[in-house]
C-alpha cells in the first residue's frame, strides 16, 4: 500500500507523513476529468482530459490542522471532494481510521465537508435545517437539541433560528453552513478555503472555532492560498502543484529551514521550482 | 425509506411555507377554472335552447318498427315516411321543417343489424341535436339486441353553411388544456428540484449526509409528483366546474357530450397519468441541467412537443372508433383519451392502456434520470 508520496520532499524532523497510523490516509489518489468540447475550446487544449490530482498521498492526525496549499487549479478542491466522498478517485484510496471510503454511508458520519460553494436552502429556517440534517445523520433528539443550543448560541444564530435563510445576512449564512456541517459531531473536518468571501469578524469566528475543534481532538484539513491564515492556523502543510504533493511537513520546520523568509517567500520559491510550463491553470 | 420520507417532507415544507410557491402551484388550475367556466357559460348559453326542444325526425324504412320502443318521446318526435323522396326531404331539412331525415337502408331481422343514412344540416344546431339523439337511440338498440355495429353514414345536406360543431370547438379544447396545464404545472415545479439545488449549491450539501443518491432521486421525484398532482387536481376541479356550468348534456355533431359519474373518475386518472409523464420528463431534464435557466430552456422543446402531441387528437374531427394501439403512445394518448371521453366513446380497456403506458413511460424515464444522477459530474454545475 502506497503511503508515501514518491519524490515528495519531506522536510525537517517531521516523519509523520511516512507513517501509516494516521487518521486520514490519502494513498496515491488520481483523478482525471473528461473535458467537454466547450472547455477544450475555451482553454485551447488538445487533449480531452485533465489530470486534476496525480498520485497524491498524505496522512493527517487527530488534533491537528493540516493545510493543503497550492496555486489555482493545483487540485486542492478535487482532493477534498474525494476525501469527502463527493467524487471517487480513478486510482488510489483514502482511509479514515482504517476504513475505506467505499462504504460511504457510514463513513460520512465521520466527515464534514465545508466550502464556500456548499450552500444552504434559502427557503428554510436554521432550526428546520438543523433538525433535517440531524435526522439524516440519525442524531438522537436529545443530543440534537443540546448541540443545536450550543452551536446556535456560539455562532449567534439563536436569535435567527426561525428566520428564513434568505433573510439572513451573508455572514450569518456562512456561519450557519458551518453549524449545519457539524450537526453530527464529525471526527474529520474538511474545509475548502475556509475564509473565502468572509469579512474579518466572521473569518475570525471561523478560524477560532477551527482551532478549538483541533484542540478537542478533531482532525481539520483546510485548503487555502492565504499564507497568513496558514501561519495562524496550521500545524502542518502539504504543498500541491499540478496534482502532486511536492513538499510536506511542519510549518515551524519550514520556517526554520528558510531563515529570513516568511511563508509567502517560501511558497513562491517552491512554486517556481516545481511548476512546469505546460502545467495546471 | 426513512430518508426518502425526510426528503419528501423537506420538499413539501419548502413549498408550503412559501406563499409565492403556493400561488404558483395553484395558479394554472385557477386559470383553467376561470377561463373554462367563462367559455363554458358562453357555450352553454348558445346551446340550451336547442336542447330544450323536441327534435322532429322523419324516418323511412322497414327496420323502424324495432327501433320504436327506444324512442324517448320527450326529446324525439318521429314521423314515419311511406316513400323516400330524397330531393324533397333534403329540402325539408334545409328549411328546418324537420331536423333530421333517417333512411333505414337495410334491416336484417335475424341478426338485428341495421344500416342507415342520416341527412342533416351541419349549420343547424337543432339538426345536430337530432343527430346526437337519434344516434344515442341506435346505440341503445344496438346494446339491447347485442347486434353488430350498425352501418351509419351521416350526410350533410347543406354544402354552404358553416359547420355548427366548429363553434363548439371549445369542448375539443378540453384535452388540449388538460395536457397544457399539467405540463405547465410540472414545468413550474421540477426544474427547481435538482437544477435549482445545484445552482444554489445545496445538492452537494445534501450529498454530504449519509443519504443515498437513489433516496434523493426517489424523494424528489415523489415530491415533484405530489406537487404536480395537487396542481393537477385543482385543474381537474376546473374541468369539472366548467363542465357542470356549461351543462352536462349537449349534442354536438352526431355525438353526445354526456359527461357524468365515471367520466370524472376517468378524467382524474388521465390527469394523474399526465402528471406522471410530465414529472418524469422535467425531472430528468432537471437532473441533467446545471441551473434553473438551463433546465427551463431544455424543458421548453419538450413542453412544446408534448403540447402538440397532446393536442393532436383534438384536431382530428372524425369520430370513428380508435384503434387500441393509438392509446399506447405517451402524451398523445392523454389528449386522445380525454377526447374520447368527451365523445362518450372511451372504453375501460383503452383507459387501462393509457394508464399502463403512462406508468411504463414514467418508470423508464425515472430510471434513465436516476442513472444520470449517479454520474458524479451532475453534482456540481461547474
Ligand atoms: N468537474 C470537473 N471537470 C473538469 N475539470 C475539472 C473539474 N473539476 C476540476 N477540474 C479541473 O481540475 C483541476 C484542479 O481543480 P481544483 O478545483 O481541484 O483546483 P484547486 O486547487 O481547488 O484550485 P483553486 O485554487 O482555483 O480552487 C483544474 O484545472 C480544474 O479546471
Ligand atoms: Mg478550489
Among B208, B219, B291, B374, most A C-beta atoms within 10 A, so best to mutate, is: B208
Domains identified in chain A, total number: 1
Same domain, B120 and B216: no
Instruction: Measure CA A96 to chain center.
Output: 14
- Domain coverage including residue B217: 24-47+163-379
pTM for the predicted model, two decimal places: 0.75
- Ligand number nearest CA of A86 is 1
Residue B16 lies in a domain: no
Same domain, B101 and B186: no
- Does residue B379 contact residue B200 with C-beta atoms inside 8 Å? no
Domains identified in chain B, total number: 2
Same domain, B265 and B371: yes
| ipTM for this prediction | 0.79
Local confidence pLDDT in tens for the 382 residues of chain B: 889 999 999 999 988 988 888 888 887 777 767 776 666 555 554 544 556 678 889 999 888 888 888 888 888 888 888 888 888 888 888 888 888 999 988 888 888 888 888 898 877 778 878 888 888 888 888 888 877 666 778 888 877 665 555 545 555 667 777 788 888 889 888 998 999 888 888 888 888 888 888 899 999 999 999 999 888 888 777 767 766 665 444 433 333 445 567 777 888 888 889 899 999 999 999 998 888 999 999 999 999 898 888 888 877 666 567 788 889 988 888 888 887 887 667 888 999 999 999 999 999 999 999 998 887 666 665 4
Predicted local confidence at residue A131, as pLDDT = 95
Residues of chain A contacting residue B376, judged by C-beta atoms under 8 Å apart = 86-88
pLDDT of A149 strictly over 70: yes
Among B182, B211, B9, CA closest to A85:
B211
Residue A260 lies in a domain: yes
Among B184, B280, B300, CA closest to B231:
B184
Residue A257 lies in a domain: yes
Q: How close is the nearest chain A Cα to the Cα of B273, in Å?
A: 30
Cβ contacts below 8 Å, chain A against chain B, sum to: 62
Same domain, B199 and B265: yes
Query: What CATH number is attached to the domain comprising B102?
Result: 3.40.1710.10
Residue A126 lies in a domain: no
The whole-angstrom separation of Cα B95 and Cα A70 is 94
Cα angle A169-B10-B378, degrees, rounded to a multiple of 5: 80
3-class secondary structure, A10: strand
Question: Separation of A170 CA from ligand 2 center, angstroms?
Answer: 20
Same domain, B150 and B167: no
Residue B177: phi and psi, rounded to 5, are: -65, -40
Residue B7 lies in a domain: no
Residue A52 lies in a domain: yes
Residue B6 lies in a domain: no
Which residues does a 6 A CB cutoff place in the pocket of ligand 1?
Answer: A 33, 35, 50, 52, 70, 72-78, 280-281; B 377, 380
- Domain coverage including residue A56: 1-97+235-281
Same domain, B145 and B84: yes
Same domain, B126 and B63: yes
Same domain, B172 and B147: no
Amino acid at each position: 500500500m502506497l503511503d508515501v508520496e514518491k519524490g515528495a520532499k519531506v522536510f525537517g524532523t517531521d516523519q509523520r507523513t511516512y507513517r501509516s497510523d494516521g487518521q486520514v490516509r490519502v494513498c496515491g489518489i488520481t483523478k482525471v476529468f473528461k473535458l467537454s468540447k466547450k472547455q477544450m475550446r475555451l482553454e485551447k487544449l488538445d487533449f480531452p482530459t485533465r489530470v486534476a490530482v496525480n498520485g497524491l498521498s498524505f496522512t493527517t492526525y487527530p488534533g491537528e490542522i493540516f493545510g493543503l496549499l497550492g496555486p489555482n487549479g493545483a487540485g486542492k478542491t478535487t482532493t477534498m471532494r474525494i476525501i469527502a466522498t463527493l467524487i471517487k478517485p480513478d486510482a488510489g484510496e483514502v482511509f479514515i481510521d482504517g476504513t475505506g471510503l467505499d462504504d460511504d454511508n457510514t463513513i460520512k458520519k465521520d466527515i464534514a465537508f465545508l466550502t464556500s460553494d456548499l450552500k444552504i436552502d434559502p427557503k428554510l429556517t436554521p432550526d428546520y435545517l438543523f433538525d433535517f440534517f440531524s435526522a439524516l445523520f440519525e442524531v438522537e433528539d436529545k443530543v440534537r437539541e443540546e448541540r443545536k443550543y450550543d452551536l446556535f448560541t456560539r455562532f449567534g444564530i439563536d436569535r435567527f433560528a426561525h428566520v428564513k435563510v434568505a433573510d439572513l445576512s451573508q455572514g450569518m449564512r456562512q456561519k450557519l453552513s458551518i453549524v449545519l456541517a457539524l450537526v453530527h459531531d464529525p471526527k474529520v473536518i474538511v474545509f475548502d478555503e475556509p475564509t473565502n468571501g468572509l469579512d474579518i469578524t466572521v473569518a475570525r469566528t471561523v478560524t477560532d472555532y477551527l482551532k478549538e475543534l483541533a484542540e478537542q481532538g478533531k482532525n481539520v484539513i483546510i485548503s487555502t492560498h492565504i499564507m497568513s491564515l496558514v501561519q495562524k492556523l496550521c500545524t502542518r502543510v502539504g504543498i500541491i502543484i499540478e496534482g502532486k504533493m511536492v513538499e510536506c511537513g511542519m510549518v515551524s520546520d519550514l520556517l526554520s529551514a528558510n531563515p529570513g523568509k516568511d511563508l509567502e517567500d517560501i511558497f513562491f520559491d517552491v512554486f517556481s521550482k516545481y511548476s512546469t510550463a505546460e502545467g495546471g491553470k | 425509506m426513512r430518508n426518502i420520507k425526510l426528503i419528501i417532507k423537506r420538499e413539501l415544507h419548502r413549498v408550503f411555507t412559501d406563499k409565492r410557491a403556493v400561488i404558483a402551484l395553484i395558479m394554472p388550475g385557477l386559470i383553467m377554472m376561470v377561463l373554462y367556466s367563462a367559455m363554458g357559460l358562453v357555450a352553454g348559453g348558445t346551446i340550451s335552447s336547442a336542447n330544450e326542444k323536441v327534435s322532429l325526425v322523419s324516418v323511412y324504412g322497414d327496420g323502424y318498427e324495432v327501433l320504436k320502443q327506444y324512442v324517448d318521446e320527450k326529446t324525439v318526435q318521429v314521423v314515419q315516411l311511406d316513400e323516400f323522396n330524397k330531393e324533397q326531404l333534403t329540402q325539408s331539412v334545409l328549411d328546418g321543417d324537420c331536423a333530421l331525415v333517417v333512411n333505414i337502408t337495410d334491416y336484417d331481422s335475424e341478426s338485428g343489424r341495421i344500416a342507415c343514412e342520416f341527412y342533416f344540416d351541419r349549420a343547424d344546431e337543432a339538426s345536430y341535436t337530432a343527430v346526437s339523439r337519434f344516434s344515442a337511440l341506435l346505440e341503445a338498440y344496438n346494446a339491447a339486441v347485442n347486434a353488430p355495429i350498425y352501418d351509419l353514414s351521416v350526410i350533410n345536406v347543406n354544402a354552404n353553411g358553416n359547420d355548427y360543431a366548429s363553434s363548439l370547438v371549445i369542448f375539443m379544447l378540453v384535452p388540449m388544456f388538460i395536457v397544457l396545464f399539467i405540463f405547465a404545472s410540472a414545468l413550474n415545479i421540477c426544474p427547481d428540484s435538482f437544477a435549482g439545488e445545484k445552482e444554489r449549491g445545496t445538492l452537494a450539501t445534501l450529498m454530504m449526509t449519509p443519504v443515498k443518491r437513489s433516496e434523493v432521486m426517489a424523494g424528489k421525484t415523489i415530491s415533484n409528483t405530489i406537487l404536480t398532482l395537487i396542481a393537477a387536481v385543482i385543474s381537474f376541479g376546473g374541468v369539472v366546474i366548467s363542465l357542470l356550468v356549461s351543462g352536462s348534456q349537449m349534442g354536438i355533431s352526431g355525438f353526445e357530450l354526456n359527461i357524468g359519474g365515471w367520466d370524472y373518475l376517468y378524467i382524474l386518472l388521465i390527469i394523474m397519468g399526465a402528471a406522471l409523464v410530465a414529472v418524469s420528463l422535467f425531472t430528468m431534464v432537471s437532473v441533467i441541467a446545471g441551473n434553473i435557466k438551463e433546465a427551463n430552456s431544455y424543458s421548453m422543446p419538450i413542453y412544446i412537443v408534448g403540447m402538440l402531441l397532446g393536442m393532436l387528437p383534438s384536431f382530428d374531427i372524425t369520430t370513428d372508433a380508435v384503434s387500441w394501439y393509438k392509446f399506447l403512445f405517451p402524451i398523445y394518448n392523454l389528449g386522445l383519451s380525454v377526447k374520447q371521453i368527451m365523445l362518450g366513446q372511451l372504453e375501460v380497456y383503452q383507459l387501462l392502456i393509457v394508464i399502463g403506458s403512462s406508468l411504463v413511460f414514467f418508470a423508464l424515464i425515472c430510471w434513465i434520470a436516476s442513472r444520470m444522477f449517479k454520474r458524479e459530474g451532475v453534482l456540481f454545475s461547474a
